Amino acid sequence: MPSPWISRRGKWFWILTVSTVVVIAIALGVGLGIGGTFWKPAVGETWQIVLLTPLDNTTTNASVYDVDLFTNPISTFQNLQSMGRKVICYFSAGSYEPNRPDSNNFTAADKGHGVDGWPGEFWLNTSSPNVRDIMTQRLKLAAQKGCDGVDPDNVDAYNNNGGGFGLTSTDAIDYLSFLAIGAHSLGMAVGLKNAGEIVNQTLPMMQWQVNEQCVQYGECATFQPFIKANKPVFHIEYPQSSGEMKFTAAQLCGVGDTSLDGFSTVLKSMDLGDPVTECSNS
């Protein structure tokens, strides 16, 4: 951001600079942009996520669909919305992906370490003005396509050797503030993807959490603040990736585990294709 930004929203004061975020809260339960007209989902929403291919099956009975921003046409979003569903548009906010329409806009200096397990993908310097300009354009594209909200992925470079740039959790909070302000100003909601270490710092500005594998990694209680704030946790477990831990479907769905209370849990393959199993206890 080119200059400090100061605003008052309800009972929260937000002070942002290029490198830091200071959040001063004098009351609980009020979030960034709380007076806006964007979508504010509640706990209990059912959901489906399909990222492997453009969505071609809308028969899954879910109130929320999380689908790729770039590969799906406006008509897909309009069709879902005509059925009373909300559309979350996915894009990677913290990593470079080849073959995206705007991939050539990133510079070599924007790219850091490779993303483990994803050949050709690199962590981004999320403090780079160029990266932020590109993400602003992605948010604008999401708004133009009519997305109800956005799912910005890979915001946790601080857990991955700083992405090659020494990025910290403070940098992640600053970046998420930038994304939240941008999404809200365009009438869209935004969620936190994983990044359990910064749940409490970002909860006021986020409308939901998307979590992967908190059962497998024993982290589900970390995301309960969203449930307590009546914000959904859209939770995915990957049964085929549990390896030697050998979780049963019941365990992945949280049967007998209060740390998953209120979660909207689905079981998927890791490629996030169309097949889905919704956990009945979610």
pLDDT in tens, 238-268: 998 655 557 888 999 999 899 999 999 999 9
Mean pLDDT of the chain: 88
pLDDT at residue 231, rounded to an integer: 98
Report pLDDT digits (tens) over 74-122.
999 999 999 999 999 999 999 999 999 999 999 999 999 999 999 999 9
According to CATH, the superfamily of the domain at 38-278 is: Aldolase class I (3.20.20.70)
Residue 249 to residue 91: CA distance in whole angstroms = 29
Q: Are strands 95-96 and 111-114 parallel, antiparallel or unpaired?
A: unpaired
Question: What's the pLDDT at 240?
Answer: 81
- Indicate the domain borders of the chain: 38-278
pLDDT at position 243: 57
Residue 175 phi, psi dihedral angles, 5° rounding: -65, -40
Whether the Cβ atoms of residue 46 and residue 278 lie closer than 8 Å to each other: yes
pLDDT at 77: 98
**Structure confidence by residue, pLDDT tens digits, 21-63:** 333 332 333 344 444 699 999 999 999 999 999 999 999 999 9
pLDDT of amino acid 280: 77
**Residue 170 and residue 202: Cα distance in Å, rounded?**
11
**pLDDT at residue number 31:** 41
Phi/psi at 263 (5° precision): -70, 150
Query: Rounded to whole angstroms, what are the CA distances from 61 to 36, 49, 155?
Result: 28, 12, 29
Provide mean pLDDT across the span 211-217.
95
Residue-level pLDDT at 281: 57
Residues 204-231: what's their mean pLDDT?
97
**Is the per-residue pLDDT at 7 higher than 50?**
no
Helix (H) or strand (E) holding 81: helix 74-82
pTM for the full model?
0.87
User: Strands, E, within the chain: which ranges?
Assistant: 5-9, 12-16, 21-25, 47-50, 64-68, 86-92, 95-96, 111-114, 122-124, 149-153, 189-193, 208-212, 233-237, 264-267, 277-278
